[in-house]
Amino acid sequence: MDVDAIRKVLAGNKSDLLMAIVGLEGIVTFAFVICTFAVATTANAGFNVVLTGFLNIGFIAGSYHVIRKSKAPIAVSGDDILVTTADSHRKINYR
């Protein structure tokens, strides 16, 4: 992904960006919860893994609710982190 593409995404609607991230996290968590049910029969890890899966579901549901119902502007400041990560091999000043 190009640095300009990253900046364009970050300059767009922050709420839509966060909703997309929460949706992606929901898909990954759904697969994780299915895996937790398979591991649930293990005596030493079963309960902890299933509890972690349910806590992830709760976190995603809470994140979705807060982002959707938020009336205040949402700030996402990842520009410096993403630009630094994407171009860590180059010594270019973007400012």
Evaluate if residue 68 carries a pLDDT over 80: yes
Stretch 2-29: mean pLDDT, rounded? Answer: 80
Q: How far is CA 17 from CA 4, 36, 38, 56, in A?
A: 16, 28, 32, 20
User: Is residue 73 assigned to a domain?
Assistant: yes
In the block, which residue shows the tokens 């079963």?
A: 46
Name the domain count of the chain: 1
pLDDT digits (tens, 9 = 90+) for 27-63: 999 999 999 888 888 767 778 888 999 999 999 998 8
Question: Between 88 and 11, whose confidence is greater?
Answer: 11
Which structural domain, as residue segments, surrounds residue 40?
A: 3-86
**94 found inside a domain:** no
Note the pLDDT of residue 43.
67
